[in-house]
Structure formats: structure tokens, C-alpha cells
Amino acid sequence: MTAAQTILIVEDEKDIREVLAFNLKREGFGVLEAGDGRLALELAAEKKPDLILLDLMLPVLDGLSVSRSLQRDPATAGLPVIMITAKGEEVDRIVGLELGAADYVTKPFSVREVILRIRSVLRRRAVPGAAAPVYCGDIRLDAADHAVRVAGAPVALTVTEFRLLEDLMRNKGKVRSRAQLLDAVWGFSFEGYARTVDTHIRRLRSKLGKAAEYIETVRGIGYRAGDDGDAPEPVPERSGGDCGEYGIPYGGADASGEPEQ
């Protein structure tokens, strides 16, 4: 039995908010409520709801600004948003699409319709392989649409680079040996594989720019995607290069000092 999915309702009109909250709870959802844009952002970041129902006309911070802020913050960028627009807000609707809204509901709406849309968006996201985005520092990886963004800016990766990054990020904080990476990404091993992995890691890093620092080299073993809390940390010995490879003392266990070759 999985925990109830939580919906954040962002709507300043109290009557509408309460009707939605009442019905969503009755349908088994957990419910959070915000009456203005700023509170919405706070709740989204703090509680990580499964979906946000976002009215565009809001006090303090309007719905489009909320949507932009959600997208910019890697902690909330993956949260699906269903926008509630009033009739005649076509311009906002187009902007909203660019901001990646998952769906729209136009006022006046029926509660039944809203719940159907919510279920539909959540179901789409539950499709295997379309899992929630994964994060590592400023890097956001969406397996669902094969997209990687660094601080919100799209990064074009080859399929191999993407799979490599995905494997590292899904195993964030764990060291992945070259053999493991090869198996996960290429599905087989071959002569000279270590060099192949290194070559692709180098290309991947150069495309990631500054965020390359989240991909750490673990000397003598392989690579690791650093935890959010780890990076960017001061790196004492950076051995040349722009985004640079650097050796990470691996729990003190890798004390052999074996030169990596």
C-alpha cells in the first residue's frame, strides 16, 4: 500500500479551494492548500507534493511567476502542474505551455473533470521509464523525455552520454566501477572498455560545463555522481582541465594510491 498522493491546491478563492480540497480528500488524496503564490512555492519546496493545481490569478505572486519559479528550482522543477485558467486567458495559456504545464483546466470547471485530469497526469507519470526526474546538484535528468538540464538550461547529450549520466545519477553517492558502467550503458564488455568509459565521461563532462564537478572520479575504481550536499565543494587538488578530473579519497579505503591508468 503506497502512501496517498498529495495534491497542492493553489487558489485564492476560498470557496473553490475548499470544494476541491473536500473532493480530493474524499478521493483518497492528501491535500495541501495555498491561497497565494508565495505560500505555494514554500509548500512545493518543503512538502514535494505529487501534483500542483495552480490557479493563474493569484495575489502576491501570480500563477505564471509561480510556475517559472518552480521550473527554475531543481528541487521542484519536476513537479507536474495543472494550470487553472479563466476563459479568455489564451495568451497565458501559451506561455504556460512553454513553462511545461502538464495540463489545463478552464474555469468554470466541474470538480469531476479536475479529478479526472489529475488522475490522468499522475497515471502518465507512473508509466515505467517515465519515472520522476532525478537530480544531482544543478543537473536534472528526465528519463521520460530524454532531457537533461543544468540550472534549467537544456544540454544536448548523445544516447550513450545520457545513459551514462542516468546510471550515475540513479546511483547517486555510490561508486560505479567502469565495468558496472559498461554493463549498464553498453550492455556488454569488450577490450579496452576502461578507455571507452573514460572517453565518454570526458565528453559528458565537457557538455555539462560547470556541473561537471558533480561527476567525480574515484581513483582506481570508476566514477560517482556526488550528492547534492557534496557539491560544489572546494576541491583541493584539481589536476588541470576546465572541469577537471579529480581524485576523491574513497572512504579512506582506497589508500593504495594506485595510479589510475
Binding site for Ca ion (CB under 5 A): 12, 55, 57
Backbone angles phi, psi at 172, to 5 degrees: -50, 135
d(CA 211, CA 218): 17
The sign one gets for the Cα dihedral 156, 71, 244, 165 is negative
Closest separation between CB of residue 13 and Ca ion, Å? 5
Closest separation between CB of residue 61 and Ca ion, Å? 12
Q: Which amino acid is located at 224 in the chain?
A: R
Which of 35, 222 has the CB closer to Ca ion? 35
Closest separation between CB of residue 173 and Ca ion, Å? 42
Q: Are 67 and 94 in contact (CB under 8 A)?
A: no
Closest separation between CB of residue 12 and Ca ion, Å? 5
Could you check whether the bond before residue 232 is cis, i.e. omega within 30 degrees of 0?
yes
Which of 57, 235 has the CB closer to Ca ion? 57
Exposed/middle/buried for residue 176 (C-beta within 10 Å: 0-12, 13-18, 19+): buried
Angle between helices 63-72 and 90-98 (to 10 degrees): 0
| Position closest to Ca ion via CB | 57
Which of 12, 73 has the CB closer to Ca ion? 12
Q: Are 41 and 63 in contact (CB under 8 A)?
A: no
Q: Which amino acid is located at 218 in the chain?
A: V
Closest separation between CB of residue 108 and Ca ion, Å? 12
Which of 10, 139 has the CB closer to Ca ion? 10
Which of 12, 254 has the CB closer to Ca ion? 12
Closest separation between CB of residue 185 and Ca ion, Å? 47
Nearest to 215 by CA among 257, 157, 174, 259: 174
Q: Which residues on adjacent β-strands are paired with residue 215? A: 225
Which of 55, 161 has the CB closer to Ca ion? 55
Closest separation between CB of residue 184 and Ca ion, Å? 47
Which of 86, 126 has the CB closer to Ca ion? 86
Cell of 99: 513553462
